[in-house]
Structure 1
Amino acid sequence: MPSRIAEAMNQSSTTAGAFAAYRSLPALSGRAYLPIAFLARLPFSMNTLGVMVLVTATTGSVAAAGLSTAAASLGTAAFGAVQGKLADRLGQRPVLIVASMLNAVAAVLVVLAATGGAHRAVLAAACFLLGASAPQVGALARVRWIALMHDEPQTIGAAMGYESTVDEITFVLGPALVGVIATAGSPAIALLVAAGLVTTFGLAFALHPTANAPTRRARPVSGSTRHGSPRVLRRLVLPLVGMLGVGVFFGSTQAGVTAVAEAAGQAGIAGLLYAVLGVGSAITALALVAVPDTIGYRTRWVAGAAGLTLTTAATLLTDGPGQLAAVLAVVGLFVGPTLVTLFSVGGSLVPVAQAGTAMTMLVSANVVGVALGAAVAGSVADQAGAPAVFVVPLMAAALVAAAGLLSPRGPAGATSTTEVTSTSM
């Protein structure tokens, strides 16, 4: 009995210590950094749904909107990893400054093309540029934390959990902001607001002193670095497949909620419906730091993806926005832990010198999935409507689970995280 009490007290102390790691983050980065990095990634979460709602409103076709969204997503997929590689070589600051300014211009071009009735090829090109220039704030912020952590496993885990939570919060606020602006004003104004945010806070993120941290911590990698990207790619195959599946889930769910909102005659609430998904996700992503280190990444990955698959199946039984919102609130509980785990797995496989490449590869895989999911589900929505469209996110969740099952049984979470800066290529 005394041993059980001691064990419980020790577990409680460990959990308290895990959450205490969050309190060290502002001291490492500076307090101004947290709100700047938060607001800098908000435009990224606004643009995808903003394009979908804007094009749906101007063309009347969810399929056309899905193709436009796919063009934006493919732009990010094509150039996201390029940003990461350039940031590894040149430093984050110049890359982010150029990307932020170009992204603001691209948002204005998309609005002009959509509202001016431009040819769909012109609109698609503008959307591609919007995605290609999107500053990789989330990925590069993770690289900054890794460089600031000095190989402290629990603190790195807290940072990864915090970043995924911030991602989820912005993916709640971004679509919600699009929904509010689209309802009160127009979808075009929503994209223009995103352009203003990326100009202001994207540049502030680029100029913050933490942008120099990865350059200071990066160490030479054993062997040739000239072919580093292919080697990183080989290491990340299964996490990339998992991220691809999560992206398909996101893109197809966006198309699904848009179809449900359109069918209900309330197109503007699509952003609000999608935002529900992120509420539970943010909570569970933040709480994941309390999971014992003895529970390895593979177990976390499979458990999160299995829960995502089972709960997503319930979307096929929904009827109308109200029921869908209730189900999405539960589905979201499994999104956050899955994302945190995938980023942690990816981070554990590369050294700091190539962390930017690895993180942006993972983000790019996610974005490719968003493009595929939006395009396929948009077509299904036009032909079959809701709830049939939710077959696509269900299949995507199953793909994430399958990738997790195929992953090797690696070390426990804390041990793997230590490898972030010690694994040679």
Structure 2
Amino acid sequence: MRELLVLTGPWLPVTSFLARLPAALAPTGTLIMITAGSGIGNASLAAGLLWVGQAVGGPLIGRIADRRGHRGTLVTASLVNAVATAALVAAVTTGRSLAVEALCSLAAGLTVPQIGPLSRVRWVALVAGLPGERQLVARALSLDTLLDELGFMVGPALAGVLAVGTHPAAGVALAALLTAVAGTAFARHRSAPGPCARSGSGSGPRLLSTPLVVLLALALLQGMVWGAANAGVNALARTLDDPGMAGLVWSSMAVTSSVAGLVVTLRRSAVRLTSLLRVAVVGQAVLALPLLSVHGLPAAALAVAAVGVAVAPHLIAIFGLAETVAPAHRMGEAMTLLGSGLIVGQGTAAVAAGRLAATHGYPAALGTAWAASVVAAVVALLLVRRARFDPPATPGPAAVAKGSDTVVSSP
């Protein structure tokens, strides 16, 4: 990783982590904050609107960043999002109506600055043209996925600790502060790319190529695995009259995913991203089998942790392949679109699995998570082939740089 730190300096990964932490901190914090004030029904609505806003606004922010550059786009999004998030805190703590809370939640979701996806675009731009470009891209995207996983491990836990130790709104307030400070610092870092070059005719490769649609489908299915499994864990915890344990059980997935991401990031051997994707997705379907026989919280923690082993390698492969197949001038839009796929899958599966759990019990929700992992495995085995994901032969160094989809990483 020393080569990457030489390019950016040691503070960029730190700033990037702090800037993306609100994406994991705010949803859990919103649930805690509004539940404490007006109940789980209002809290679920607000958190749902937060996710919907992010899924809709993400690709739009990615497109603007591609066209106008990252610095101005991310500074604006960070500051506007901080204001919207602070307005949500104010609306809840001053007893405003549900409509006002919902509007603030939607605004906060729409303006999330998309640090994770655009950080991946930044790394691709930083290493472009350097010796060993493909290896550097692979290491950088692996590191970035690891930062995401660490954020989703720390964020929910931090929201809970702050709520218990200080105030139910403390987690969301911290998310607003981090977005304003760390988001702006990340946006203004010297590594921020400018507007992407576009063809003079305005035409070029379309965004939704067949390979990118396959990746989007896998992202959607991965989100469904998360959403259904999370709903099942929460339903199990309620059944056992211990709802507070659901977050701790769920965090076990982030722990094992972070470890797996670190292993992939530091591994010395080479593996093609298409192979890594197939192995990770099929492995997840196998590792998810214990979800079908869960009968207690310890067993649920172990089952969820097993699924986590495949998560980070899966995401590393998805975003790495997106870099090879998406048009260079629309890379930000492609990365944020995949992020939105994860969010949409998670939200829709959480709702559907929650209803199944209410009618048929928590095994139905956990079974839905396993079924989604099986469908993902079928898609990966049938549609993820190296030939499909090799970019078309076009002249110029970009085509040469994208001619191999290998992951080669070393410490």
Between the aligned residues of both structures, percent identity stands at 32
3-state SS of the aligned residue for 2:207? helix
Query: What residue is the counterpart of 2:173 in the other structure?
Result: 192
The letter of the residue matching 1:30 is G
3-state SS of the aligned residue for 1:209? coil
CA distance in 2, matches of 1:388, 1:176: 27
The letter of the residue matching 1:171 is F
Distance 1:323 1:183, change over 3 A: farther
Structure 1 residues 262-341: aligned runs within 5 Å: 262-289=238-265, 290=267, 292-293=269-270, 295-341=271-317
Query: What residue is the counterpart of 2:30 in the other structure?
Result: 51
Distance 1:386 1:32, change over 3 A: same
3-state SS of the aligned residue for 2:153? helix
Give, in angstroms, the shift of residue 118 of structure 1. 5.4
Higher helix share: 1
Structure 1 residues 407-418: aligned runs within 5 Å: 407-410=383-386
Query: What residue is the counterpart of 1:171 in the other structure?
Result: 152
Query: What residue is the counterpart of 2:82 in the other structure?
Result: 104
Greater displacement, 29-38 / 174-183: 174-183
Query: What residue is the counterpart of 2:228 in the other structure?
Result: 252
3-state SS of the aligned residue for 1:211? coil
Query: What residue is the counterpart of 1:399 in the other structure?
Result: 375
Say if 2:78 and 2:179, in contact at 8 Å, map to a contact too. yes
Structure 1 residues 343-422: aligned runs within 5 Å: 343-410=319-386
CA distance in 2, matches of 1:419, 1:265: 57
Say if 2:325 and 2:389, in contact at 8 Å, map to a contact too. no
CA distance in 2, matches of 1:110, 1:302: 41
Matched, 1:37 2:16: yes
Give, in angstroms, the shift of residue 302 of structure 1. 2.0
Distance 1:385 1:52, change over 3 A: farther
The letter of the residue matching 1:255 is A
Query: What residue is the counterpart of 1:26 in the other structure?
Result: 5
Give, in angstroms, the shift of residue 72 of structure 1. 1.5
Give, in angstroms, the shift of residue 106 of structure 1. 2.4
The letter of the residue matching 2:14 is P
TM-score by length of 1: 0.83
CA distance in 2, matches of 1:125, 1:142: 30
CA distance in 2, matches of 1:319, 1:64: 30
Say if 2:120 and 2:144, in contact at 8 Å, map to a contact too. yes
CA distance in 1, matches of 2:250, 2:399: 35
The letter of the residue matching 1:75 is G
Say if 2:55 and 2:344, in contact at 8 Å, map to a contact too. yes
CA distance in 2, matches of 1:119, 1:397: 40
Give, in angstroms, the shift of residue 385 of structure 1. 4.2
Choose from 64, 71, 87 the match for 2:49.
71
Structure 1 residues 172-251: aligned runs within 5 Å: 172-212=153-193, 215=195, 218-221=196-199, 224-225=202-203, 230-232=206-208, 234-251=210-227
Say if 1:273 and 1:321, in contact at 8 Å, map to a contact too. yes
Deviations along 1:81-114, one digit per CA (max 9) or x if unpaired, are 1111100111111111121122222223333455
Choose from 88, 95, 102 the match for 1:124.
102
CA distance in 2, matches of 1:150, 1:122: 45
Distance 1:300 1:224, change over 3 A: same
Give, in angstroms, the shift of residue 117 of structure 1. 6.0
CA distance in 2, matches of 1:233, 1:90: 23
Deviations along 1:268-306, one digit per CA (max 9) or x if unpaired, are 44333222111111121222243744x433322222112
Distance 1:358 1:192, change over 3 A: same
CA distance in 1, matches of 2:237, 2:6: 43
Give, in angstroms, the shift of residue 339 of structure 1. 0.6
Greater displacement, 335-344 / 377-386: 377-386
Deviations along 1:8-39, one digit per CA (max 9) or x if unpaired, are xxxxxxxxxxxxxx221111111111110111
Query: What residue is the counterpart of 1:9 in the other structure?
Result: none
CA distance in 2, matches of 1:276, 1:34: 24
Structure 1 residues not aligned, in runs of 5+: 1-21
Give, in angstroms, the shift of residue 257 of structure 1. 3.3
Distance 1:399 1:57, change over 3 A: farther
Greater displacement, 197-206 / 258-267: 258-267
Give, in angstroms, the shift of residue 41 of structure 1. 0.3
Distance 1:30 1:90, change over 3 A: same
Choose from 158, 163, 167 the match for 2:139.
158
The count of aligned residue pairs is 395
The letter of the residue matching 1:196 is L
Query: What residue is the counterpart of 2:121 in the other structure?
Result: 143
Structure 2 residues not aligned, in runs of 5+: 393-397, 404-411
CA RMSD of aligned residues (A): 3.0
Distance 1:400 1:146, change over 3 A: same
